[in-house]
Amino acid sequence: MDRSAKSIVALTGAGISVESGIPTFRGPDGLWQGHDPHQLATPLAFARDPELVWRFYEWRRGLVAASQPNNAHHVLVEIEETLSPLTIITQNVDGYHIEAGSENVIELHGSLWRLKCTHCSQRWEDRRHPLPDLPARCPSCNALARPDVVWFGETLDPHNLNAAYKQTQQSSIFLSIGTSSVVHPAAELPLLARQHGAYTIEINPENTPISGFMDEVIRGSAADELGRWWKEDYPKLLDTD
Ligand code: OAD
């Protein structure tokens, strides 16, 4: 493998936004603790009670709007500015990678800041918080609007997914940062990268189902460890080519 080609892919999950004050999904303080995701994040839940689902997403939009990207998001911007290409494949819907200034971002699970019409499928960005009317409505046809995020039971946008597979297969270094690696298909990407010859690294304070398959595991927070990896470990990787 020629790592001097330096094509890096960073797959990110909720753990990268922890230092911004955004809770993860799983674990004792996670978003799904005490909530049934099937009441809040499925097409059926939305059909049953769109206001309840919107209130959940408005609360999350509020949390994200009240905070900002952290050091880990900024390090990824620095990597992208220094090396090209870097691709971020994120499962997060908080929009922090784009807010921080990353350009090459695949938002696999959508975005809290985009809305989608349930009738005409028009998509638009709306960063207002709070939204003036809930449930929100389509500006073109006035049908119900929903958050443009992927819910349980829905498939990922095939264009995004294909782009994620392509970048993963072409990567020479693949970083899996702050994800529990239990939600598919994102959880398969680090393994696919390894099969295609990438050097794979996990940054996570805890063990995950993919930890044993990575070339290197860094135990710690993304905000601390990603910057350290970039300054200290990345140059050593180049030396070993
Ligand atoms: P999870 O909540 O499943 O996992 C968060 C991971 O972050 C865990 O492995 C933690 O150990 C790790 N973590 C915690 N603090 C960290 C820190 N400071 N630095 C780095 N890592 C830290 O979140 P995801 O893996 O992102 O899907 O969840 C995947 C998907 O499941 C989400 O995108 C969402 C959810 O259901 C949809 O909504 C479609």
Q: What's the CATH code of the domain at 55?
A: 3.30.1600.10
Query: For a pocket test of ligand 1, which of 204, 208, 214 has the largest count of ligand atoms closer than 8 A to its C-beta?
Result: 204
Q: Count the neighbouring beta carbons within 10 Å of the beta carbon of residue 21.
A: 12
Q: Which atom of ligand 1 is nearest to the CA of 151?
A: 39
CA of 132 to the centre of ligand 1 (A): 30
Residue 107: strand pairing partners: 90
* Tens digit of each residue's pLDDT (9 = 90 or more) over 87-111: 999 999 999 999 999 999 999 999 9
Same domain, 122 and 197: no
Specify the length of the chain in residues.
241
Q: How confident is the model at residue 27 (pLDDT cuts 50, 70, 90)?
A: confident
Q: Is the predicted pLDDT of residue 224 greater than 80, yes or no? A: yes
Expressed as residue numbers, the domain containing 123 is 37-66+114-149
Q: HSE on the CB side for 234, CA within 13 Å?
A: 21
Average per-residue pLDDT for the chain: 93
Residue 125 lies inside a defined structural domain of this protein: yes
Distance of CA 10 to the CA centre of its chain: 10
The residue whose CA has the least distance to atom 32 of ligand 1 is 91
Q: How confident is the model at residue 1 (pLDDT cuts 50, 70, 90)?
A: very low
- The residues near 201 (Cβ < 8 Å, ≥ 6 apart) are 173, 174, 175, 176, 214, 215, 216, 217, 218, 229
Same domain, 196 and 224: yes
Q: How confident is the model at residue 6 (pLDDT cuts 50, 70, 90)?
A: low
Residue 31 lies inside a defined structural domain of this protein: no
Same domain, 51 and 96: no
Query: For a pocket test of ligand 1, which of 179, 182, 202, 217 has the largest count of ligand atoms closer than 8 A to its C-beta?
Result: 179
Q: Indicate which residues carry an active-site annotation.
A: 109
Last residue of a domain, one of 89, 123, 149: 149
Last residue of a domain, one of 95, 122, 149: 149
Domain count along the chain = 2
Same domain, 120 and 178: no
Residue 141 lies inside a defined structural domain of this protein: yes
pLDDT of residue 3: 47
Query: For a pocket test of ligand 1, which of 16, 19, 26 has the largest count of ligand atoms closer than 8 A to its C-beta?
Result: 26
CA of 188 to the centre of ligand 1 (A): 15
Same domain, 167 and 90: yes
The residue whose CA has the least distance to atom 29 of ligand 1 is 183
CA of 96 to the centre of ligand 1 (A): 15
Q: How confident is the model at residue 240 (pLDDT cuts 50, 70, 90)?
A: low
Same domain, 227 and 197: yes
Q: Which atom of ligand 1 is nearest to the CA of 152?
A: 39
Report the distance separating Cα 160 and Cα 171, nearest Å: 16
Same domain, 84 and 190: yes
Same domain, 47 and 82: no
* Tens digit of each residue's pLDDT (9 = 90 or more) over 120-177: 989 999 999 999 999 999 999 999 999 999 999 999 999 999 999 999 999 999 999 9
Same domain, 198 and 141: no
